[in-house]
Amino acid sequence: MAQIQIRNRKIEYEVDRRDVKYPRLEFRSGKLLVILPENYGNEKKLIEKYKEWIYKKHLFIEEAKREAKRKKVEWRSEEELKEMIEDMVEEFSKELNVKVNRIYFRKLKSKWGSCSNKGNISFNTMLKYLPEELIRYVVFHEMIHLRERRHNKNFWEMMGKKFDDYEKKEKELFAYWFLIQNLKS
């Protein structure tokens, strides 16, 4: 584990060399991960180039961790979660005029849900710990991807029509992510 100093913060990071084409920075687990192609040189220039992004993301994560301490988890079974989500999918399918091919429930490592090009939607079983309002948000979010693949302006406009507080909900999801990770460990 290496460390960088940005302004008044020491930020730990890990370098992972992989069979990838382009370098990238991730904060998925709350720690900075620098993913580099196997033949990439030193990571210092990449970190320097994106140090403002790293700094802002680090502050955001620290706030989410503090917020997580003020949250409470729900305790529902995976069966209750599946039934709840299937009902929501049916409701939102009509509202959005979209068709979901298949629904999967999995333990996902870094996200609440995903949507494939074939119209399959996967939901993280850890959603069972969230308040129903946030589950509705995640389900709607994934179903919007059936109409708009990317998180572009059009996507967020569609989200905003249903959830005018979507930015707040995104932050809440981040806080719950850290809270739930602590439950598992």
CA dist 64 and 171 (Å) reads: 7
Mark whether 8 and 91 lie in a shared domain.
Answer: no
| The pair of three-digit structure tokens given for residue 133, joined into one six-digit string | 């309002």
Q: Please check whether residues 47 and 114 belong to one and the same domain.
A: no
Please state the pTM of the whole predicted model. 0.82
Specify whether 98 is located in the same domain as 23.
no
Domain boundary among 68, 87, 114: 68
Span between the terminal Cα atoms of the chain, in Å: 21
Percentages (nearest 5) of helix, strand, coil residues in the chain: 50, 20, 30
**pLDDT value of residue 87:** 98
What confidence score (pLDDT) does residue 42 get? Answer: 85
> Are 51 and 138 in the same domain?
no
Residue 160 shares a structural domain with residue 82: yes
Amino acid at 129: Y
Question: What's the domain count of the chain?
Answer: 2
Neighbours of 112 (CB within 10 A): 21
pLDDT score recorded for residue 31 = 84
Residue with tokens 């399918």: 93
- Distance, in Å, from the CA atom of 52 to the CA atom of 25, rounded to the nearest integer, reads 12
Determine the angle formed by the axes of helices 132-144 and 166-184, rounding to 10 degrees: 110
Q: How many residues does the chain have?
A: 185
**For residue 121, what pLDDT is reported?**
97
pLDDT of 69-94, one tens digit each? Answer: 899 999 999 999 999 999 999 999 99
Would residue 114 count as lying in a domain?
A: yes
Predicted local distance difference test score (pLDDT) of residue 110 = 83
Which H helix or E strand runs over 172? helix 166-184
Residues 50 and 108 both lie in one domain:
no
21: its two tokens:
């084409």
Last residue of a domain, one of 38, 68, 98: 68
Q: Which segments of the chain have a pLDDT < 70? A: 182, 184-185
Residues 88 and 123 in one domain: yes
pLDDT at site 185: 43
Of 13, 43, 68, at which residue does a domain stop?
68
Q: Tell me, yes or no, whether 73 lies in a domain.
A: no
Range of the domain at 94: 78-184
